[in-house]
């Protein structure tokens, strides 16, 4: 977001707060002067995406050990489609060991590629999928719900 579009007050206003401020006497122009993009009408948090199953939390018990082994120390999640295609495809439901091995292999490829692509918040990499067919993936480090650094791993074409 460009500097001119950032709120001067440091926080984006939701629609309810916007309307409350208008009711308190702030003019529409004053609000737009502080919030050039207007109020936030809808947002979908990372926490909601994990609760809804859109993202798979890799820092949950069982998986967090694999993250630590690969040197990943920030919150990490993976899209459900990427997880299904790369980690859990064709695995019996109770075969956690095989899923952890696949997760470790995928994270190792990510970390190795991240070392090559040092100056970016995005890393593009490829891993063997089911039947050893290559799966193109990417990850991004950005701010989480509370502005903390988080990583999201996706299939190529997802965002």
Q: What percent of the chain has pLDDT over 70?
A: 91
Q: What per-residue confidence (pLDDT) applies to 12?
A: 78
* For the ranges 2-6, 91-95, 130-134, the one whose mean pLDDT is highest: 130-134
Tokens of 22: 């208008």
CA-angle at 68, arms to 81 and 156, nearest 5°: 25
Q: What are residue 137's DSSP bridge partners?
A: 125, 155
> 112 Cβ partners below 8 Å, 6+ apart?
125
pLDDT for 75 equals 95
How many Å apart are CA 3 and CA 114, to the nearest integer? 28
pLDDT at 2: 42
pLDDT tens-digit map of 42-96: 778 999 999 999 999 999 888 899 999 999 999 999 999 999 999 887 777 667 8
Pairing of strands 75-79, 149-155: parallel
């Amino acid at each position: 977001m460009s500097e001119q579009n950032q709120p001067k007050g440091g926080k984006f206003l939701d629609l309810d707060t916007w309307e409350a401020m208008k009711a308190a006497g702030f003019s529409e122009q004053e609000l737009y002067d502080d919030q050039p993009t207007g109020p936030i009408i809808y947002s979908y948090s990372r926490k909601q995406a994990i609760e809804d199953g859109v993202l798979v939390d890799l820092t949950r018990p069982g998986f967090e050990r694999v993250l630590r082994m690969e040197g990943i120390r920030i919150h990490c999640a993976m899209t459900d489609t990427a997880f299904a295609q790369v980690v859990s495809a064709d695995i019996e439901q109770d075969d956690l060991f095989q899923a952890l091995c696949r997760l470790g292999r995928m994270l190792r490829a990510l970390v190795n590629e991240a070392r090559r692509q040092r100056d970016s918040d995005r890393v593009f990499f490829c891993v063997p999928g089911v039947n050893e067919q290559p799966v193109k993936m990417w990850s991004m480090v950005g701010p989480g719900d509370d502005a903390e650094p988080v990583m999201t791993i996706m299939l190529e074409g997802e965002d």
